[in-house]
A and B are shown apart, each in its own frame.
Chain A
Amino acid sequence: MQTQVNSSKETGFRKNLAIELLDKETRKKYLHTEKHSMLDLLKDMYRPVLKDGGLVAASIGYAIFSGLLPLLSVLIVHILVGLLTEANVEASRLIMVAGLYAALFILCTSVSSQLKGRNSTKFMLLRLKALNKMLDKHMTMDYGLYENPSFLDDLGNWSRSLASNNTGLEGSYHKIFELGGTFISLILLGGLLFMVSPLIALVAIVFVIVFYLAQRNITSYKHRRREELQRVGRRSGKFAREASDFRYGKDMRLFRMEDRFQRAFKPLLLAYEKLYKAFTMRELQLSFLESAALVLIDIVSFIVLALQLDKASISIEAFVMLLTAVTLFTQTVQNFAQGLAFVKGETLYYGDAIDLIEADLVSTGGDMHIDREGLKSIRLELRDVSFHYPGSDKLILKDLNLVIEPGEKCALVGVNGAGKTTLVKLITGLYQPTKGQILINGIDTRTIAQRELFSLFGVVFQEVQPLALTIAENVAAADIDIDRDRVVDCLKQAGLWEKVSSLPKGIDSPVLKVVEDDGIIFSGGENQKLAIARALYRKDSLMMIMDEPTAALDALAEEKIYREFDSILSGKTALFISHRLASTRFCDRIVLLDGGSISQEGTHDELIGQEGLYKRMFTAQGKYYQEDKGEADQ
């Protein structure tokens, strides 16, 4: 299958996918470069299966043994009725025939169910392997894409075929496994009836075609409309989840919001019902055709047989046998057509998943490297950087210029909504500037391999929460090769060691109760300290970025972090965001972000000497303390 490679000839840089793929149609074209034929998809699905000789042998064996079963039922009837119409047949012969049949029946069912039971779990593994690739995609694709809700909708749709045991990829594997047997039965019974009258086989073929086409119509109709249904379903699910989210509990009660949620549920349920009705309407409409075709097989076969019986061209025992054969045949034909349509439908979804797995969804990267030899810190330069969010014209940053020298400690301040956090996301490479360049040691960050770029930074984001891993895993951001002494050091520096060392399992204590019942729940401040420890742990990082790292800490804890700031940084370049301007005094230089660019910069003393936003903010925050100092002095 062909993969889409993201590169732009004009600039030599990769395209900014967060913006490029905003439009639904462009996105479709980019991701679904070509329509997959069912055959291509099947080839792709069966590549790993064909490598497993045991699984192939089991599939063939299952097809033969389970495929024989219906024919056995037909033959026993034929032989028994034949014997019964003979004169003077001995009872023992009847019993012998029945016994032989029973033995064969037991053999076929045993072999086929053992072959199936001992192999079908392998298909689950194949699905989970594909699912892993999909999850990895979620965690590595362009971050800006991840923030686009309609792209997320698409992701949900496209992952569908990997989510369940009995639909999608795995469902198709199981179904095709069974279809092997159905196919053999179909050939055997069809051949038998073909010998009586080619007409019967012909009607059956007509049925398979009609049924397959009808089902294909239904499934591709559903595949087309799945997005609408998924959207409504997702919304109603999300509302229900939000309303049952315990975090809403206090505000829900204090502001009596239940009624508003009720009002939200109602139209969603109605919309869901309406869509689902439309969704199943096509099925009902086409079922008229399907039932007619099915009944037609019965009618044609019965009439053909009855006429032949009437003309005495078949005997009564052949007639009884063939009636049984027709009943089983109709059943088999129906199963076969259903199975085929199922596989056709489900592989459509699998095609979506493959497209997503194989698509290039990274906006940065190249083959430039930062020469780390002897480097303790980096020089960061933002050159005429502008940024607006995808789908919005509003410039958050405008022609911003900023240089942070190696080892410099720089504080970034500004009012709410000035774009401080956005700037952090740009520097770290989570977002790409819409104009201008970001340079690290003179190299454009878009040309540095993404992994390498990310590895340059230790970052503490706002409102951090831990994952349900052990404390050590949370700090090291890894589960193998953890430097345990370093974890302890970092926890000490972040001021969390006292707490951790008091836990019975120390740094191996699980965090959160989701996975381990004895997990520990940290407070907001402790979560923040844990995140600081994680940023510190990163040995190879050359720059530390902290976004409001002490917002949840009380005055004394905050003070401690500031005091140790220098030893924490150990020479790395640092960028520090805080609303508490006091913290900026620990920095070499303060830059003020206002109106999308840097409007003031300098040391605290320099800035406090200028008339400007910084001074206003500082006095505003310090005013009460100042006044008080005055009083205390008196």
Chain B
Amino acid sequence: MKKKADITIGKTLKMLLSLIWRLDKTYYLVLGLASLAGGLNTIFNIYIPKILIDGYSRGWQAKDYIRVILILGLAKYSLLQLRAYIKRQEKIRQSLLDEKFPIAFANKVMGIDYANLEDAKVLDLKERALFPVTNFGALLQLLSGAVDFLTSLFTVISLVVILVAFSPLFMVLVFFLTLIGLIFSARFMTVLKKITEDLIPINRRYAYYADTATGPLFQKEYRIYGMSSLMTRKINEFTSEMYGWLRNIQVAQANTETRQGIVTGITRFLTYSFVALRVLSDRFGPLISLGDFSVIVAATDSFAVSFRGLVTSVITIGQSISYLKPFCEFMSIPDTKAKSGSLLPEPLEKLAFENVSFSYPNSDRLILDDISFVINRGEKVSIVGLNNAGKTTIVKLICRLFEPDSGRILWNGIDIRDYDYEAYIDKLSCVFQDFQLFPFTIQENIVTQKSGQDEKEEKRLWQVLEEVDMREAVETLPNKAQTYLDKSLYEEATDLSGGQKQKLAIARSIYKESDLVILDEPTAALDPLAESEVYENFNQLVQNRTAIFISHRMSSSIFCDRIILLENGKIAGFDSHEKLMKGHNLYRKLFETQAKNYIS
């Protein structure tokens, strides 16, 4: 992957906004309404006492009061209900978005170049991208920050209107004092931002240990080797580290609150004095009523609170955006389809490697060094070599999971990159060494693309299961081929043994009607009988398709037409078994080491 420039906060925000819009068209409407309702509520509460106090100077009777109070009560009730209703909508939307974000992320992972997936940096980016969403609630923080922002904005504007009408000079004074309070907030927020950013990697490590302590991978080892105290101690190392950090945050926050308390105290002192003086005399402006007194006092207080809320929410939003930056960085990796060629491949006649060299990104080691060979239609070719000789790399290059650094791979003489990606992939099928079955039904794992002809599909499915000797095993399952494969997702699922899974993977690859079949260590988990069945039925399994076979078991190369021997990134031999046995050293050595165990 090419090194991408860091994306900016502005671009991140834009991406997030459009992603949210794409995932939920009504969210912004709900967001606006929620803020409006929140703001209205504040203003309304400020005015209620004024109305009642002014009633006194207007000489209201008991029945006037009761009428007004009932009307106010009704209005307040309606407002509260409206708020409750919108709040619920907002909550529903928010938690749905929180579910949808990881899904959008998954869609991205499924769509980008495979080379990314073997890049340790991209893997790291993925961890950094998902962690804030799944463990930190960064998205929820952003969304509630947005509501707070709009609510405060609405309230602040209304309050400024009230206060300016009362006294522009006073407004300026209050504004100035609030600003001082804000400086304290801002200073705290920079400290907080710094600390939380420092905490993210610590938190991530903590999450690794806590997750693996509860996760399924190592439970056997924890028990047999008594590792629970080791894990607990690892977790505690981070706990005490985090305790120190968090205490610092709390103390810094307390100090900020104390400073702000002082500013608020001064503001209140000025407010009460000034407003009281205005009630008392007209030296600083027109006389005001006791009702206005209560409005101004409440409005000044609310102004300070809301204005601080406004700024805090901006900081919260900024903070969550910086948390979500890796997420957006990941989401901006381009999709594969964008750079696919457009030719449609013809049935395979000849597959050729032409001076292909390759080393993995971010690695100096040359895995394949100027390799050339040709495989013809219908040929069965085996690739052998020591661990890490580059056997699997050849498979990945053919599958267009990686591109050669130099040289070309030709399908019927045409560079495979010039073909439409999906059309080309449809010509291949493969059992990868580290194959994975998907958490769906057995049928869905084998019939990966629906053809629409259900009956024909069904028939072929059972035929393929028969060929890999899984028919009986599948038939005894309660839901037969409709049985799900992942017990942690479906209660009715089944757990297959490693060997059975491998058989299904083989079934999947022969079900797919492809021109070229690649089998990379397809029998590693099979018992000797099942393995020899695969070998013996190999020709029948792959039929007249071209096939490439990779295995540590040297015996497998006997039933192949020719064998590619890889050594130090070069092809050290490409010939039949008999010929290689006569000549080459490494091949003979590998073969005889294993063979001697079987020869009495």
Task: Please indicate the chain B residues that have their CB under 8 angstroms from the CB of A523 in the complex.
Answer: 387-388
Cβ proximity bits B140-154 to A, threshold 8 Å, 1 near / 0 not: 000000000000000
Q: Among A102, A480, A554, A627, which residue has its beta carbon within 8 angstroms of that of B269?
A: A102
Query: Which of B8-16, B177-185, B307-315, B422-430 participates in binding chain A?
Result: B422-430
| Interface pair A260/B444, CB less than 8 Å apart | yes
Chain B residues positioned under 8 Å from A176 (CB to CB)? none
CB pairs A–B below 8 angstroms (16 shown):
A84-B290, A94-B273, A128-B239, A135-B210, A146-B219, A262-B107, A272-B99, A320-B293, A323-B294, A416-B527, A428-B224, A459-B224, A461-B221, A534-B225, A579-B528, A620-B529
Cα–Cα distance between A417 and B45 once the two chains are bound (Å): 72
With A94-B280, A139-B228, A250-B432 given, is the CB distance from A261 to B594 under 8 Å?
A: no
**How many residue pairs at the A-B interface have CB separations less than 8 Å?**
458
Q: A618 at interface (Cβ–Cβ under 8 A)?
A: yes
Q: Which chain B residues lie closer than 8 Å to A583 at the CB level?
A: 597
Map CB proximity to A onto B396-424 as digits: 1 under 8 Å, 0 otherwise.
10010100000000000000000000100
Alpha-carbon distance between A76 and B526 when the two chains are bound, in angstroms: 85
Top 10 A-B pairs, shortest CB-CB distance: A117-B254, A622-B598, A416-B499, A582-B597, A109-B261, A624-B555, A625-B595, A306-B65, A243-B106, A102-B269
Q: A417 contacts B219, CB within 8 Å? A: no
In the complex, which of the residues B84, B91, B435, B598 has the most CB atoms of chain A within 10 Å of its own CB atom? B598
Contacts of B448 in A (CB 8 A): 255-257, 260
Chain B 112-125, CB-CB to A under 8 Å as 1, else 0, gives 00100110100110
> Would you call B578 an interface residue if the criterion is a C-beta within 8 Å of the partner chain's C-beta atoms?
yes
Q: Report the minimal beta-carbon distance from B339 to chain A, rounded to whole angstroms.
A: 14
Query: A209 near B: Cβ within 8 Å?
Result: no
Is B497 part of the binding interface, using a Cβ–Cβ cutoff of 8 Å?
yes
**Is A98's CB under 8 angstroms from B436's CB?**
no
Q: Which of A87-146 contact B (CB under 8 A)?
A: 89, 91, 94-95, 97-99, 101-103, 105-106, 109-110, 113-114, 116-118, 120-121, 124-125, 128, 131-132, 135-136, 138-140, 143, 146
- Cβ-based interface call for B474 (8 A): no
Write the B228-270 contact mask toward A (1 if CB under 8 angstroms, else 0): 1011111110010001001100110111011001101110110
Which listed residue (B73, B216, B253, B436) contacts A299, Cβ 8 A?
A: B73
Q: Say yes or no: A269 contacts B103, CB within 8 Å.
A: yes
- Minimum C-beta distance from A257 to chain B (A): 6
Q: Which of A105, A247, A254, A618 has the most chain B CB within a 10 Å cutoff? A: A254
Q: A320-B290, A515-B208, A579-B527 are in contact. Are A555 and B590 (CB under 8 A)?
A: yes
Shortest distance between the CB of B123 and any CB in chain A (Å): 6
Cα distance, A461 to B221, chains bound together (Å): 8
Chain B residues near A106 (CB-CB < 8 A): 261-262, 265
Q: A84-B279, A262-B107, A625-B591 are in contact. List 9 more A-B contacts (CB 8 A).
A: A113-B254, A243-B103, A255-B448, A469-B230, A477-B225, A514-B208, A538-B225, A551-B525, A555-B593
B451 within 8 A of A: no
Contact A621–B531 (Cβ < 8 Å) = yes
Q: B574 contacts the other chain (Cβ, under 8 Å)?
A: no
Complex partner residue of B254 from A118, A277, A616, CB under 8 angstroms: A118
Closest to B386 in A: A554
For the complex formed, measure the closest distance between the CB of B62 and the CB atoms of chain A, giving whole angstroms.
4
Decide if B530 touches A132 in the complex (CB within 8 Å).
no
A414, B529: Cα distance in complex, Å: 10
A239 near B: Cβ within 8 Å?
Answer: yes
Q: Decide: B109 and A243 in contact? CB cutoff 8 A.
A: yes
Contacts of A240 in B (CB 8 A): 102-103, 105-106
Hey, which chain B residues are within 8 Å of A120, CB to CB? 250
Complex CA distance for A465 and B218, rounded to whole angstroms? 8
Name the one of A414, A461, A473, A477 contacting B527, with C-beta atoms under 8 angstroms: A414
A238 at the interface (CB under 8 A from B): yes
Given contact pairs A265-B103, A276-B92, A525 touches B226 in the complex (Cβ within 8 A): no
Residues of A within 8 A of B213 (CB): 135, 138-139
Q: Closest chain B residue to A551 by CB distance? A: B524
Provide the bound-state CA to CA distance between A418 and B529, in Å: 13
Report if A513 contacts B (CB, 8 A).
Answer: yes
Query: Do residues B500 and A454 form an inter-chain contact, with CB atoms below 8 A?
Result: no
Query: With contacts A240-B102, A269-B100 known, is A306 near B272, CB below 8 A?
Result: no
One of A131, A250, A430, A467 near B401 (C-beta < 8 A): A250
Q: Tell me whether B440 is interfacial, beta carbon within 8 Å.
A: yes
Residue among B61, B111, B209, B594 with most chain A CB within 10 A: B594
CB contact under 8 A between A105 and B532, given known A272-B96, A310-B65, A627-B558: no
| In-complex Cβ contact of B491 among A149, A425, A553 (8 A) | A149
Inter-chain contact A320/B233, CB cutoff 8 Å: no
B581: chain A residues within 8 A (beta carbon): 628, 631-632
| A3 contacts chain B at the CB level, 8 A cutoff | no
* Contact assessment for B265 and A244 in the assembled complex, using a CB-CB cutoff below 8 Å: no
Point out the residues of chain A lying under 8 angstroms from B81, CB to CB. Answer: 287-288, 291
In the assembled complex, the CB of B516 is this many whole angstroms from the nearest CB of chain A, namely 11
- Determine the distance from Cα of A299 to Cα of B79 in the docked complex, in whole angstroms: 15
B65 and A477 contact, CB distance less than 8 A: no
Contact call A302/B438, Cβ cutoff below 8 A:
no
Instruction: Give Cα distance in the complex from A579 to B525, angstroms.
Output: 8
Is B528 a contact of A621 with CB atoms below 8 Å?
yes
Instruction: Say yes or no: is B535 at the interface (Cβ < 8 Å to chain A).
Output: yes
User: How far apart are the CA atoms of A280 and B87 in the complex, in Å?
Assistant: 10
Interface flags for A310-341 (1: CB within 8 Å of B; 0: not) read 10000010011001100100000000000000
B387 partner, pick from A128, A455, A554, beta carbons under 8 A: A554
State A257–B436 Cα separation when bound (angstroms): 12
| Smallest CB separation, B350 vs chain A (Å) | 21
* Residues in A neighbouring B214, C-beta threshold 8 A: 135, 138, 155, 159
Say yes or no: B228 contacts A136, CB within 8 Å: yes
Contact A139/B227 with A251-B432, A264-B440, A303-B69 known, Cβ cut-off 8 Å = yes
The answer to whether B529 and A628 touch across the interface, beta carbons within 8 angstroms, is no
Which B residues are CB-close (under 8 A) to A618? Answer: 528, 598
How far, in Å, is B503 (CB) from chain A's closest CB? 8
- Pair A110/B593 contact, Cβ less than 8 Å: no
Whether B491 and A150, one on each chain, are in contact in the complex, defined by CB atoms closer than 8 angstroms, is: yes
On whether the beta carbons of B529 and A617 are closer than 8 Å, the reply is yes
Contact B226 A555 (CB under 8 A): no
Q: When A462-B498, A622-B598 are in contact, do A415 and B430 touch as well, CB less than 8 Å?
A: no
Nearest Cβ distance between residue A528 and chain B, in whole angstroms?
Answer: 11
Query: What is the 8 Å Cβ interface bit string for chain B, positions 516-558, against chain A (1 contact, 0 not)?
Result: 0000000011111111100100000000000000001011101
Pick the contact of A626 from B126, B217, B598 — CB < 8 Å?
A: B598
A478 within 8 A of B: yes
Q: State in angstroms the CA–CA spacing of A631 and B429 once bound together.
A: 34
User: Distance (Å) between the CB of A161 and the closest chain B CB?
Assistant: 15
Given the known inter-chain contacts A284-B88, A579-B527, please indicate yes or no for A249 contacting B269, CB distance below 8 A: no
Q: How many angstroms from the CA of A430 to the CA of B224 in the assembled complex?
A: 8
Pair A248/B103 contact, Cβ less than 8 Å: no
A258 to B559, CA, bound (A): 36
Interface centre among A132, A323, A459 (most CB of B within 10 A): A132
Q: Is the pair A280, B290 in contact by a Cβ cutoff of 8 Å?
A: no
Which chain A residues border B227 with CB–CB below 8 Å?
139, 477-478
Q: Which residues of A contact B124 (CB under 8 A)?
A: 513
Contacts of A414 in B (CB 8 A): 527
In the assembly, what is the distance between CA of A450 and CA of B223, in Å?
Answer: 9
Q: CB within 8 A of B126: which of A246, A262, A585?
A: A246
Which residues of A have CB within 8 Å of B481? Answer: none
Say yes or no for A629: interface residue by CB 8 A criterion: yes
Contacts of B99 in A (CB 8 A): 233, 236-237, 269, 272
Distance between Cα atoms of A577 and B538 in the complex (Å):
27
A102 touches B102 (CB 8 A): no
Tell me the nearest residue of chain B to A85, going by C-beta.
Answer: B290
B584 close to chain A: CB less than 8 A = no
**Inter-chain contacts of B453 with A (CB < 8 A):** none
Cα distance, A421 to B500, chains bound together (Å): 14
Asked if B223 and A143 make an inter-chain contact with CB atoms under 8 angstroms apart, the answer reads yes
Asked if B341 lies at the interface with its beta carbon under 8 angstroms from chain A, I say: no
